[in-house]
Amino acid sequence: MKKINLCFLLFLGLAFLYQTGIVTAGTSMSVQVKKAPVRSAPSFFSGKIIKNLAYGNRVAVLSQKGKWIKVAARGATGWMHASALTKKKIIKRAGAGDVEKYARSDEVALAGKGFNKQVEARFMAKNPKISFRWVNRMEAFNVYPSEVRRFLRQGKLSFEGGVQ
Amino acid sequence: MKKLTRRDFIRNGGKFALGISIAAGFSSLMTGCEGMGDVAALGSSIASSTGLITQSQANSITRSAKAVARTFEDITPEQEYYIGRSVAAMILARYRPYKKKTPNRYVNLVGQTLAMASDRPETFGGYHFLILDSGDINALSAPGGLIFITRGLLRCCRHEDALASVLAHEIGHVQYQHGLQAINKSRITEAVTVLGTETAKTKTFAGEDLASLTSIFEDSVSDILKTMIDSGYSRKFEFQADDAAITIMERVGYNPSGLIDMLNMMKMRLRPGRGDFAKTHPSPSQRIENARDLIGPYVPVEIVKARQSRFLRALKHI
């Protein structure tokens, strides 16, 4: 009976770790977004951007604070938001060999497979009346952290953009 | 002692329930993935037995499909980005963009600030906002973070806190990937089969495979649009997005009662029978009732002078 209780508690513990998205120091993660900054502090606003990483770059996990993960990558050490990272390894130019190799793996994502630029180009060719001009313009609408800081201060808002 | 709101109760209870459900989730997820692999295995086995491909190719397809099934079922942020771009382009085929710089810049400033406070601040291509030149009362979010708001809905906002509630609601849909969940599951199975075949052959898509994949892509985009524009998300998803909006607003320092103010104004302006929020969302009264359960007692939005003047300055011609 005690054994069962212990197993149940262990299971609950593991389930809790999974649900809270806690990552383990010493493991590796991959950048799952187009461009992701490494920051000097676990915050969108305080501190500086030390380095920008690209899609598929690997990072070594050092520690975690809330939704922020301290990483080491390409000679830099700093903080990244967990939503920019995945536990999966991302293979950027996957060929048949990679697929064979990782056929039974749950830990690999194949970049550029499935719905990609090539498919979008074909979609555009099939639908010449659908314009992507304003979609591209929209993607260029960006605000800088300094503007956000000023916006918050002027509007008497309080978000620290840091550890949640 | 602080009164326990329904949201606190749901959150705390949810954490426990989620923990319990993880085992079931794991097993069902694995079953689903295996199922995908089985579809390709069956297909390649038939193709092999009929002499269309060699046994070695068939084995390769089976293995490839299993690998891709697991990654594709997740729909990577990269693929979500491409789906979102096409959904956005289709929205812009129905609605004209409102081209004035100042209001769009202001909406991006509010929206991108809110997105940073969401549970998913980083998406593959980031969050970007555009005003639509329409009197309809509508807001739409494409997967990955391309978010639209009509002039008609901006007119329902009397202050920045109300505008924040609309944008944060749409960010909530992106955060929970409600758009992707509108894709018919059979399309994913089809795509996996095509990918399995493709990866066994070459590094890039052969013409026929690309055509099939593009056709599945088009159907997936269409599934999302039909749900967003015609049938609407489920009430559960809409209330979930309102819940996310309230959380995000609180994190930034906005008064969540801004959502109630906006919904009250919407209630006065919505015209039944139009193809906008009246068709696709629970009624403003139902949403107000739900939001009040989450927020607790209504606290009127305090008008902060600097906040209000920038709001009026940016949106004066809306």
Is pLDDT of B16 > 80? no
Q: How far is CA A87 from the centre of its chain?
A: 9
Please state, in angstroms and rounded to a whole number, the distance separating the CA atoms of residues B216 and B310.
45
Q: Are strands B146-150 and B128-132 parallel, antiparallel or unpaired?
A: parallel
B contacts of A15 (beta carbons < 8 Å): 18-20, 22-23
To the nearest whole angstrom, how far is the Cα of A55 from the nearest Cα of chain B? 9
CB atoms closer than 10 angstroms to residue B12: 11
- Are B252 and A131 a contacting pair at CB < 8 A? no
A144/B contact by beta carbon, under 8 A: no
**CA-based nearest residue in chain A for residue B218:** A123
pLDDT in tens, B17-62: 444 333 333 333 333 333 333 333 444 444 444 444 454 454 444 4
Which residues face A79 on adjacent strands?
A39, A70
B contacts of A17 (beta carbons < 8 Å): none
| Mean pLDDT score of chain B | 80
Q: CA torsion, points A109, A110, A114, A115, in degrees to nearest 10?
A: 80
B contacts of A154 (beta carbons < 8 Å): 306-307, 310
Nearest by CB: A33 against B77, B82, B205: B77
Listed residue (A50, A80, A51, A75) closest to A64, CA to CA: A80
Residue appearing with tokens 């319990």: B20
Average pLDDT over residues B67-86: 75
pLDDT in tens, A104-125: 456 777 788 788 999 999 999 9
Phi, psi of B112 (to 5 degrees): -70, -30
How large is the ipTM?
0.85
B contacts of A161 (beta carbons < 8 Å): 116-117
Per-residue pLDDT, A7: 54
- Are B68 and A99 a contacting pair at CB < 8 A? yes
Is pLDDT of B12 > 90? no
To the nearest whole angstrom, how far is the Cα of B215 from the nearest Cα of chain A? 8
